[in-house]
Amino acid sequence: MFELFVLFAAIAFIVWILVTSTDKDRIKSHISKQGNKIISITLRPFGKGWAGEGEGGNRIYEVIYIDKFGNKRHVWCKTSPFSGVYTTDDEIIEQAKIDGRPMTDEEKIALLEDEIKKLKDNTPKAV
């Protein structure tokens, strides 16, 4: 009987590792496709949004990443294999720096203008 319990516990542990690994891959893909760099992804079973979750099977992760402008950000992600990735409360926790100092508003505007230009250049032209 004890051996059966140990076998069941080992199988459950392996399944849990695989599930969290695929969750993290899904979150990495979702956040990275927007040009961001992941710093950490941490499972938080009682993170933001857990109370109303019910039987949905979603898991909650706390994510820290660097956005494409260099800001360090914090976001809560909820995911499961069939629901995709949902984010909430995405906030800047550390402003981007240039030469060790925070960026000026003019530098931020220049980065945004460059991003708008790239988006316009990649937009298909109507015929």
Percent of the chain with pLDDT over 70: 91
Q: What is the CATH number of domain 2-94?
A: 3.10.450
pLDDT confidence band for 56 (50 / 70 / 90) = low
Percent of the chain with pLDDT over 90: 28
Q: Backbone dihedral region of 40: left (phi > 0), alpha (psi from -120 to 50 degrees) or beta? A: beta
Q: pTM for the whole thing?
A: 0.71
Q: What is the chain's mean pLDDT, rounded? A: 85
pLDDT confidence band for 16 (50 / 70 / 90) = confident
Residue 60: CB partners within 8 Å, gap ≥ 6? 43, 44, 45, 46, 47, 48, 49, 50, 53, 76, 77, 78
